[in-house]
Structure 1
């Protein structure tokens, strides 16, 4: 403890010794009586010794208190400007670290809830396939549909995890919107055939964006259009300059549900009725479109269908 004390206050003692030697040298140069110097030195040393004892006890107590510190609230209240500044700095660092821990915990809870919801969603096609096997009623078309749903859900989950882990995974280049939409339509061709849906694609335009992530967003919207369309109906997709409009003639969305469609986990009336929605597709779509600088607007009417417009922002 003494060594620690000397390490912190040693320069003061060196300065005191140098000052004393300087005064002694001045007395010597001017031939002043040395007993005056010795008398003043003795009194000075008494005061200095008392200050040293008090300062050492204070230093020792403060150091022991800091070494046994377990929480920020136990930090001793300082009165010196440097102690107040250090306390403020420590408070700032503790608050910053606490916020980081809270953000990590929130992100972990979010990811855990996401995986649970998606796992529950993927149980539906697995249960359907299992039931077909148990009852020996293997319908090829239905089996393909359930396998497609399972693969699509897994791919969506992997895409979302990749999006969250690598926020810079974008490659902007000039693409054809018609080619991008056509690729998504081809992906859902078997579902369209099963429901006897006819997709009409009109127009084309070139745009600079990330084709992979835009295709992912379009797949979420077109998947919903197919999912909630009435059998043997049409889905119209119009491509204009810097915009894509997707219109279906399905069951529609309640007016009060539309403002909440992009909230995580919100399924609304349509999702509950069909028991096929996790409420994550449009949430992900909105997040990604914001990164790609696209706006998305939805209008709908129960029993008459839904229209989704994606437009490039400048």
Structure 2
């Protein structure tokens, strides 16, 4: 402790030593009585000793407070302007650390919810494949359908991770959106055939965007259109200053429309039919926002849903 004390106040004792030497030199130069010099040095030495004792115990107390620091400073030992400045800095760092910890905990809770929901969704197609295997009723169309669902859920999780970690790599280029739509229709061909849905693609639309991410966003919309369409109905896609996808499905409740893009929100129809994961439209909205595109959804129960994507 004494070594720390001397390191802390070396400058003060050095100044005292220099002043003492200066006084001795002055006494010698002016040939003043040596008794006066001794009395001066003795008096100042006593004051220095008293000041040193007080300062040492004060320093020791401050060191004990700092070494046993638990987040709060009690007492008045740390009341110098420099002490208060350090305490203010510590308080700011503490608040920043608490905010960061809170953000990490919140993100961890979100991830736990995501993984739980994702694992629950994965069980459905896996259970369907397992049942088909056990009953020896493997339908190629149904197997492809369930595998496509697994692939979509996996893609959603990976894209969710990328967007959450801000690792998305966007490469903008001029895109013929009709070509993207045609490729997506081919991807979902088995589902169109299974529900006997007709498809009508009208118009053309060019937009400067990222091909991979735009394809992902539109795939979520088309997937929903197929899932919630009634059998033997039609899906119409208009391409003119944007993309408008119209289905003749079960529709969406008016009270659910404002929350469709909330994370994890499935709505009444999603819960009733156990088809929604709560991530498709949430991720679609996030991706389109980063692509500087807008999305709007309108719907009527038992008549269908219309989704429009356009350039802001």
Query: What TM-score range do you get, normalising by the shorter chain?
Result: over 0.9
Paired residue for 2:22? 22
How far does residue 139 in structure 1 lie from its aligned partner after superposition? Answer: 2.5
Do residues 312 (structure 1) and 290 (structure 2) align? Answer: no
Paired residue for 1:291? 290
Aligned counterparts, 1:77-156, within 5 A: 77=76, 78-156=78-156
Q: Is the 8 A contact 1:230 1:251 kept in 2?
A: yes
TM-score in terms of structure 1 length: 0.95
Q: Is the 8 A contact 1:220 1:285 kept in 2?
A: yes
Helix, strand or coil: the match of 1:138?
coil
Q: Is the 8 A contact 1:163 1:169 kept in 2?
A: no
**C-alpha separation between the residues in 2 aligned to 1:295 and 1:254?**
21
> Does the C-alpha gap of structure 1 residues 123 and 58 become closer, same or farther in structure 2, counting only changes over 3 Å?
same
Compute the RMSD of aligned alpha carbons: 1.5
Question: Number of matched residues?
Answer: 311
Q: Is the 8 A contact 2:203 2:239 kept in 1?
A: yes
Tell me whether 123-132 or 134-143 shows the greater mean CA deviation: 134-143
How far does residue 32 in structure 1 lie from its aligned partner after superposition? Answer: 2.2
**C-alpha separation between the residues in 2 aligned to 1:270 and 1:168?**
31
How far does residue 60 in structure 1 lie from its aligned partner after superposition? Answer: 1.2
Helix, strand or coil: the match of 2:255?
coil
How far does residue 75 in structure 1 lie from its aligned partner after superposition? Answer: 6.3
Q: Is the 8 A contact 1:66 1:75 kept in 2?
A: no
Gaps of 5+ in 1: none
Do residues 218 (structure 1) and 218 (structure 2) align? Answer: yes
Paired residue for 1:248? 247
How far does residue 90 in structure 1 lie from its aligned partner after superposition? Answer: 0.5
TM-score in terms of structure 2 length: 0.95
**C-alpha separation between the residues in 1 aligned to 2:99 and 2:220?**
34
Paired residue for 1:73? 72
Helix, strand or coil: the match of 2:243?
strand
- State the Cα deviation string for residues 84-122 of structure 1 (Å, max 9, x = none): 100010011111111111111111211121111011001
How far does residue 37 in structure 1 lie from its aligned partner after superposition? Answer: 2.3
**C-alpha separation between the residues in 2 aligned to 1:162 and 1:172?**
18
- State the Cα deviation string for residues 277-312 of structure 1 (Å, max 9, x = none): 111111111111111111111110001111111121
How far does residue 74 in structure 1 lie from its aligned partner after superposition? Answer: 4.5
**C-alpha separation between the residues in 1 aligned to 2:79 and 2:159?**
55
**C-alpha separation between the residues in 2 aligned to 1:76 and 1:126?**
64
Gaps of 5+ in 2: none
- State the Cα deviation string for residues 209-260 of structure 1 (Å, max 9, x = none): 111111111011110000001111111111122x211111111001110001
Helix, strand or coil: the match of 2:265?
coil
How far does residue 76 in structure 1 lie from its aligned partner after superposition? Answer: 5.8
